[in-house]
Amino acid sequence: MQKLTNKEEEIMHILWKLKKAFVKEVMAEIPEEQPHYNTLSTIVRNLEEKGFVSHNAFGNTHQYFPIVNIEDYRKRFMNTAIDNYFNSSYKNMVSHFAKEEKISAAELREILTMIENQEEKK
């Protein structure tokens, strides 16, 4: 699975949300600074070349749909980020967010409960 640019990732999130869409429907979902139609069309075709989307043809127009699901992409993205930024350590990642005050003690307790419940199921 190739790495996506920020703009490609933004478009993928739109396609995951819509499930299938024509370029003009994707364009309508971009909140601000919409790219030119041809630019967006090129981005979507690049996503197809990278194996993230496919299309159904309706005459000269194409309706695109994701062929990589968000869970698979999330798993790859998170693993890469943890490897690259946190020395492959989930502990380092969680402590980073705790230091930045992005996660509370209550949320950490909730996560700990989830982990303990998973261990009990094994």
> Over the stretch 71-108, which tens digit does the pLDDT of each residue have?
999 988 888 889 999 999 988 988 898 888 888 889 88
Cα–Cα dist 76/54, whole Å = 20
pTM as predicted? 0.77
Tens of pLDDT, residue by residue over 39-62, are 999 999 999 999 999 999 999 999
Cα–Cα dist 70/6, whole Å = 15
Residue 19 CA to its chain's centroid (Å): 14
DSSP alpha helix (H) spans, the chain: 6-18, 23-29, 37-49, 70-85, 90-99, 105-121
Cα–Cα dist 3/34, whole Å = 22
